[in-house]
């Protein structure tokens, strides 16, 4: 596979931790693993996902037995490969080059995409990509092969919606070969909900989110009303689509002078506790630098921060990844470039736009701490943040897995943060053995402790939208976001 040949081929091997204290004892950066080609390499536009066993799972674009990418698992004992794509040789019928991350579904399995491989008759011999299911033990099932008319080259992670279906986007294919929004049943039946035509957006790269109003929101890298900008491809959009496929373009970037509102968003949005949506653009101010923005569900956009506001871009430059809403109420993210060492950054930003640079990569000799992060940070239920870089690390300079501790307390998270009364869902955390109570906004819920890191609980009669608390023998853990009860 050569379509992503601008990215370095890499792989993974567990190494001794390398730790750097930054600012205060409660703020510590730790390198957990470095990559080499044997078990995968170049974790790209993806954020790690926490599994029901407490481990972290992700994808690497290249490396593995055939060099076509892997699914990997990160746990205390080290990093292991769960699946190596195209292990059977060409054609890569099980997929190749998984750019996006995984989503943990309510059935306990992970679902993901590969950007290439699958049906070799589609864009022969590379294929147009696949959707797959993989167990925590590494058993992979290909659910769908894209065939161009129903989409091609998916770059974004799936999401599981409240109705039990999966929703996603493809970067190409569809009626106009400019990308699609699709719905997939748990068994792999794909329905195209929308084909982009350029005026309403083109080439989506970010995942969808399902907001509390039940609709889906997303971004496109190109297209929109300002078709002459960004090299003639258009500077991207924010859109809304209903579960049944009614589509609305909410905003076209580069609508303001000198593109001060940003351009070319490359990843997904996140909904804040205020109901607004937050995201990043890779470009802005004549297509460079990048921004953090807020947009209402109705389409009113506010630019919160423009990067490279400090000398030598010490605050970072060109964010690619989505933001993460953390338990302290702030958003956390990464920039691919800039920072004190020009190797990218990890940052924190408030909903009002006050930005703090938390870490600048390439702070260690030969960038052994990693460089050029293109994926976001995930807050584990232990309170720490986890992520990857596609470059840096020694001895081969091909990427790392890292942890950033900000001193935030443990919490509980949901496999799915919405459901109807009587539905059973999963709760992620730690120290669950001996749990005595699960409460949803003060209403007691029936539950089963599956393991020390996973609980199944049922939405109780009379429950209303609110935070979930889990009482364990040693602590009372609260969810990071409210659970929404669907009426």
Distance CA 143, CA 133 (A): 7
* Residue 462 is assigned to a structural domain of this protein: yes
| Mean pLDDT for the stretch of residues 448-468 | 96
Q: Looking at the predicted structure, is the pLDDT value of residue 270 above 50?
A: yes
Same domain, 17 and 140: yes
* Residue 3 is assigned to a structural domain of this protein: no
CATH of the domain at 449: 2.60.40.10
CATH of the domain at 376: 2.130.10.10
pLDDT in tens, 272-320: 999 999 999 999 876 679 999 999 999 999 999 999 999 999 999 999 9
pLDDT interval class at 7 (50, 70, 90): very low
pLDDT of residue 2: 38
Same domain, 358 and 422: no
pLDDT interval class at 6 (50, 70, 90): very low
Q: Looking at the predicted structure, is the pLDDT value of residue 430 above 90?
A: yes
Which residues form the domain of 109? 13-405
Same domain, 397 and 440: no
Same domain, 307 and 443: no
* Residue 326 is assigned to a structural domain of this protein: yes
Same domain, 451 and 381: no
| Mean pLDDT for the stretch of residues 233-246 | 96
Same domain, 379 and 244: yes
In total, how many domains does the chain have? 2
Distance CA 425, CA 278 (A): 26
Same domain, 163 and 271: yes
Q: Looking at the predicted structure, is the pLDDT value of residue 396 above 80?
A: no
Which residues have C-beta within 8 Å of that of residue 291, sequence separation ≥ 6? Answer: 261, 262, 280, 281, 284, 303, 304, 305, 306, 307
18 vs 75, residue with greater confidence: 75
Q: What is the mean pLDDT of the chain?
A: 92
> Residue 81: which of 96, 60, 99, 102 has the closest Cα?
60
Of the residues 405, 431, 466, the one at which a domain ends: 405
Q: What is the DSSP string of 301-317?
A: EEEEEES--SGGGTT-B
> Tokens 């078990």 belong to which residue?
39
pLDDT in tens, 138-193: 999 999 999 999 999 999 999 999 899 999 999 999 999 999 999 999 999 999 99
Counted residue by residue, the chain has a size of 487
pLDDT of residue 20: 54
This model's pTM is above 0.85: yes
pLDDT of residue 328: 96
pLDDT in tens, 40-56: 889 989 999 999 999 99
| Mean pLDDT for the stretch of residues 373-398 | 92
pLDDT in tens, 198-220: 999 999 999 999 999 999 999 99
Q: Looking at the predicted structure, is the pLDDT value of residue 16 above 70?
A: no
Same domain, 452 and 345: no
Distance CA 69, CA 40 (A): 6
pLDDT of residue 286: 64
Of the residues 360, 376, 405, the one at which a domain ends: 405
pLDDT of residue 249: 98
Burial grade of 167 (CB within 10 A; 0-12, 13-18, 19 or more):
buried
pLDDT in tens, 105-130: 999 999 999 999 999 999 988 999 99
| Mean pLDDT for the stretch of residues 335-349 | 97
Of the residues 405, 421, 444, the one at which a domain ends: 405
pLDDT interval class at 413 (50, 70, 90): very high
Q: What is the DSSP string of 428-481?
A: E-S--TT--EEEETTEE--EEEEETTEEEEEPPTT--SB-EEEE-SS-EEEBSS
Same domain, 390 and 432: no
């Amino acid at each position: 596979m050569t379509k992503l040949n601008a990215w370095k081929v890499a792989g993974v091997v567990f190494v001794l931790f390398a730790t750097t204290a930054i600012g205060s004892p409660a703020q510590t950066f730790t390198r957990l693993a470095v990559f080499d080609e044997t078990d995968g390499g170049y974790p790209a536009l993806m954020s790690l996902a926490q599994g029901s066993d407490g481990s972290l799972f992700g994808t690497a674009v290249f490396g593995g037995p055939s060099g076509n990418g892997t699914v990997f698992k990160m746990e205390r004992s080290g990093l292991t490969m769960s699946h190596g794509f195209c292990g059977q040789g060409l054609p890569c019928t099980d997929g190749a080059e998984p750019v996006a991350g995984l989503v943990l579904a309510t059935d306990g399995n992970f679902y993901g995409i590969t950007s290439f491989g699958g049906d070799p008759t589609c864009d022969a011999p590379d294929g147009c990509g696949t959707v797959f299911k993989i167990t925590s033990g590494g058993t992979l099932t290909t659910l769908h092969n894209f065939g161009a008319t129903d989409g091609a080259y998916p770059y974004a992670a799936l999401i599981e919606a409240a109705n039990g279906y999966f929703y996603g986007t493809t970067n190409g294919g569809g009626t106009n070969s400019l990308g699609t929004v699709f719905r997939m049943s748990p068994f792999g039946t794909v329905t195209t909900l929308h084909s982009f035509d350029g005026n309403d957006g083109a080439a989506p790269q970010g995942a969808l989110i399902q907001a509390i109003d039940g609709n889906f929101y997303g971004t496109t890298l190109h297209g929109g009303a300002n078709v002459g900008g960004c090299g003639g491809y258009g500077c991207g959009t924010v859109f809304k689509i209903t579960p049944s496929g009614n589509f609305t373009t909410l905003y076209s970037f580069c609508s303001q002078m000198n593109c001060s509102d940003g351009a070319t968003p490359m990843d997904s949005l996140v909904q804040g506790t205020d109901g607004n949506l937050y995201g990043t653009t890779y470009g802005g101010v004549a297509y460079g630098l990048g921004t953090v923005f807020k947009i209402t569900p109705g389409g009113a956009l506010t630019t919160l921060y423009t990067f490279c506001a400090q000398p030598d871009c010490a605050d970072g430059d060109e964010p690619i990844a989505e933001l993460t809403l953390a338990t302290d109420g702030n958003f956390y993210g990464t920039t691919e470039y800039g920072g004190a060492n020009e190797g990218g950054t990890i940052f924190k930003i408030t909903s009002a736009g006050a930005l703090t640079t938390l870490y600048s990569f390439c702070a260690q000799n030969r960038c052994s701490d990693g460089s050029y992060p293109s994926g976001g940070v995930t807050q584990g239920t232990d309170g720490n943040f986890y992520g990857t870089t596609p470059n840096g690390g020694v001895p081969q300079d091909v990427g790392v897995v890292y942890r950033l501790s900000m001193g935030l307390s443990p919490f509980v998270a949901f496999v799915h943060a919405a459901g109807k009364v009587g539905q059973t869902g999963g709760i992620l955390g730690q120290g669950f053995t001996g749990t005595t109570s699960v409460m949803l906004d003060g209403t007691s819920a029936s539950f089963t402790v599956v393991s020390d890191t996973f609980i199944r609980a049922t939405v109780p009669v009379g429950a209303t939208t609110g935070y979930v608390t889990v009482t364990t023998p040693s602590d009372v853990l609260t969810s990071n976001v409210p659970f929404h009860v669907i009426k």
